[in-house]
Amino acid sequence: MTNKTILITGGTGSFGKEAIKQILPMNPAKLIIYSRDEFKQYELAEQYPEKDYPIHFVVGDVRDKDRLWRALDGVGYVIHAAAMKQVPACEYNPFEAIKTNVLGAQNLIECAIDRKVKKVIALGTDKQVNPINLYGATKLCAEKLFIAAHMLPGDTCFSVVRYGNVMASRGSVVPYFYECVEKRDPIPITDWEMTRFWITLPEAAQFVLQSLERMAGGEIFVPMLRTIRIVDLAAAIGGKRYPCRISGIRPGEKIHEVLISKDEVRLTRAVDGYFLIEPFSFPYKTTILTGEYESSRGGARLTIPQIRGILKKIAKG
């Protein structure tokens, strides 16, 4: 990142804020924050004034190809974090999700190639594996677009990072559970058996930046994540005896998530603490994945004390 120009789409979100913290110490030439929320940009500009930091704030939407093309002038690396992410919102506003998550991805691909960007890495999700909701389906389409884009003429490399739920990020259940405890309301649990893959925000940002450095193009990077039962998360926040209620599954929700599908296992290799799904042959010293990293139902499970420890660490910042 040293002396490089980096652009983050959706850079005012939870991921973007953490990425800023990790990128600035690397002394970039310029860090461009591209997003459509001018108030969040104002808040970040108060924290990182352009006269003191190599940060440039650009109001724009990935749906607007002309604006995106202009913003990519001189950019060497792009982290694509812009997306409609809330499952219910995507279910009730389907074409809005398509315009942002799919058409926005294609706009970025075409502009990045035209602007001769060196590398583009896109953020994916476990919900795009065997999707049952529109959010997952749009992210799967976007992933296919980015992987296919690596085959297009030009020198731009495209890759994808795929991980699970980000603990305590904006819109996650963690702040909502804390709010329920503060109000002394029962914590709503969708299903007693529900599990998720979990990663902290600093871990997610670090993994994306590491993958940006490692990528050769066309790969999907998947961190080796631990899993969590939602009832254990509720117990870690409210206590084992805190009242919970079954709220029922929401439209588009799964009981268990998947990070690598059964069909992808044969293309997956284990590399130094993460998985690499590769459609082509790359010069990595790897071991072919022999088991399945399929469902959050199994795998390494976080205990209630471990969850509490992570939450305390997050609260301390």
pLDDT tens digits, one per residue of 39-76: 999 999 999 999 999 999 999 999 999 999 999 999 99
Q: Looking at the predicted structure, is the pLDDT value of residue 285 above 60? A: no
Rounded to the nearest 5 degrees, what angle is found at the Cα of 247, between the Cα atoms of 243 and 252? 145
Q: How many domains does the chain have?
A: 1
Residue-level pLDDT at 281: 46
Burial degree of 160 (CB within 10 A; 0-12, 13-18, 19+): buried
Residue 139 lies in a domain: yes
Pick from 27, 18, 157: nearest CA to 6: 27
In the chain, the percentage of residues whose pLDDT exceeds 90 is 72
Residue 237 lies in a domain: no
* Residue 159 to residue 271: CA distance in whole angstroms: 16
Pick from 100, 171, 168: nearest CA to 134: 100
Residue-level pLDDT at 271: 85
Mean pLDDT along residues 267-284: 76
In the chain, the percentage of residues whose pLDDT exceeds 70 is 94
CATH number, domain with residue 141: 3.40.50.720
Residue 278 lies in a domain: yes
Residue 250 lies in a domain: no
Residue-level pLDDT at 289: 58
Residue-level pLDDT at 295: 72
pLDDT band at 213 (very low <50, low <70, confident <90, very high): very high
Residue-level pLDDT at 109: 98
C-alpha torsion sign, points 156, 71, 57, 12? negative
Please tell me the least confidently modeled range out of 48-57, 183-192, 237-246, 278-287: 278-287
Residue 244 lies in a domain: no
Query: CB 269: neighbour CB atoms within 10 A?
Result: 17
Catalytic residue among 127, 183, 240, 262: 127
Report which of residues 141 and 251 the model is more confident about: 141
Residue 252 lies in a domain: no
316 is catalytic: no
Residue 311 lies in a domain: no
Residue 299 lies in a domain: no
Mean pLDDT along residues 293-303: 77
pLDDT band at 253 (very low <50, low <70, confident <90, very high): confident
Residue-level pLDDT at 294: 59
pLDDT band at 264 (very low <50, low <70, confident <90, very high): confident
Its domain, for residue 88, covers 5-163+201-223+258-291
Kindly list the distances between the CA atom of residue 52 and the CA atoms of 9, 20, 49, 135, 154, in Å, as whole numbers in the listed order. 22, 14, 6, 38, 36
The whole-chain average pLDDT of the chain stands at 90
